């Protein structure tokens, strides 16, 4: 073999191998979900995409534990595009950090299957459409960041199931309709920020049941009534 042939062979051996098969050792549905995320958000244009779609591991931003994807951490990484419906197949994910990117389109209702998720960050994108009611299934959430998008429609009443959240920040978006009475069930809340939306109707008295609530921001809406104090029962 001539020198040129040797150099080509060495380059091939040193380059990551592109694969179509499951290279992460996770269930096929989870593997398909992260690949769909890559293709749906212009993975080739990400700032960092080390090892993605190759046999090498780990893939940048992906953590695998006990045979499941447990973390997707791709914040500030130039993701541009839409979130795939397959995202909900990441049923073992505890941390999803997709904030500070260029995501558009809707939050897929399939996220309701990510019931182990504790941190869900998609803030500072250009997401549109409603907050899916299935978000109420994520009862282990301790951090939820949907602020600084262009979300529309009502705040789903199912959000009252998120009792571990210390903060509910949905500002600024384009949310409309009333603040759901179920907000009073979010007993872990210390702060509420719903400012700069298009919410209307009375401020629900159930807010008065939130004994640990310290701050509330509702300006920039069309709400009526007064802030109930924590001493007021719903």
- Domain span holding position 181: 154-234
**Claim to verify: residue 186 and residue 126 sit in the same structural domain:** no
**Claim to verify: residue 213 and residue 183 sit in the same structural domain:** yes
Q: What is the pLDDT of residue 8?
A: 39
Q: 133 by DSSP, 3-state: which?
A: helix
How many angstroms separate the CA atoms of 91 and 113, rounded?
6
**Claim to verify: residue 47 and residue 141 sit in the same structural domain:** yes
Read off the CATH number of the domain in which 133 is found.
3.80.10.10
Q: Element (H or E) spanning 222, and its range?
A: strand 222-224
Q: Round the average pLDDT of the chain to a whole number and report it.
A: 91
**Claim to verify: residue 21 and residue 129 sit in the same structural domain:** yes
**Claim to verify: residue 108 and residue 211 sit in the same structural domain:** no
Give the chain's largest Cα–Cα span.
86
Give the residue-averaged pLDDT of 77-95: 98
Q: Bridge-partner residues for 128, per DSSP? A: 150
* Per-residue model confidence as pLDDT tens digits over 168-199: 999 999 999 999 999 999 999 999 999 999 99
> Domain end: 120, 148, 176, which one?
148
Query: ω into residue 165 within 30 of 0, thus cis?
Result: no
**Claim to verify: residue 171 and residue 141 sit in the same structural domain:** no
The tally of domains found in the chain comes to 2
**Claim to verify: residue 89 and residue 115 sit in the same structural domain:** yes
* Per-residue model confidence as pLDDT tens digits over 121-168: 999 999 999 999 999 999 999 999 999 999 999 999 999 999 999 999
**Claim to verify: residue 135 and residue 35 sit in the same structural domain:** yes
**Claim to verify: residue 167 and residue 135 sit in the same structural domain:** no
Q: Is the pLDDT of residue 208 over 70?
A: yes
How many angstroms separate the CA atoms of 143 and 121, rounded?
8
> Domain end: 116, 133, 148, which one?
148
Give every CB contact of residue 227 below 8 A, 6+ residues apart in sequence. Answer: 203, 207, 216, 218
**Claim to verify: residue 34 and residue 100 sit in the same structural domain:** yes
Q: Element (H or E) spanning 192, and its range?
A: strand 191-193
Q: What is the pLDDT of residue 232?
A: 43
């Amino acid at each position: 073999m001539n020198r040129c042939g040797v150099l080509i062979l060495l380059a091939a051996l040193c380059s990551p191998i592109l694969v179509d098969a499951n290279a992460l050792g996770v269930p096929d549905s989870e593997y398909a979900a992260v690949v769909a995320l890559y293709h749906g958000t212009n993975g080739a244009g990400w700032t960092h995409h080390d090892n993605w779609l190759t046999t090498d591991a780990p893939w940048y931003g992906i953590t695998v534990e006990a045979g499941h994807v447990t973390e997707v951490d791709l914040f500030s990484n130039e993701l541009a595009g839409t979130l795939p419906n397959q995202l909900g197949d990441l049923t073992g994910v505890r941390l999803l950090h997709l904030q500070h990117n260029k995501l558009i389109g809707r939050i897929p209702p399939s996220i309701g299957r990510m019931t182990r998720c504790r941190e869900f960050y998609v803030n500072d994108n250009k997401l549109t459409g409603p907050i899916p009611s299935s978000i109420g299934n994520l009862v282990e959430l301790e951090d939820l960041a949907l602020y600084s998008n262009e979300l529309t429609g009502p705040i789903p009443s199912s959000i009252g199931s998120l009792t571990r959240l210390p903060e509910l920040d949905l500002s600024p978006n384009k949310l409309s309709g009333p603040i759901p009475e179920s907000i009073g069930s979010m007993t872990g809340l210390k702060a509420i920020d719903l400012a700069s939306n298009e919410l209307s109707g009375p401020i629900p008295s159930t807010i008065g049941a939130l004994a640990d609530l310290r701050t509330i921001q509702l300006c920039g809406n069309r709400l009526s009534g007064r802030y109930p104090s924590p001493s007021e029962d719903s």
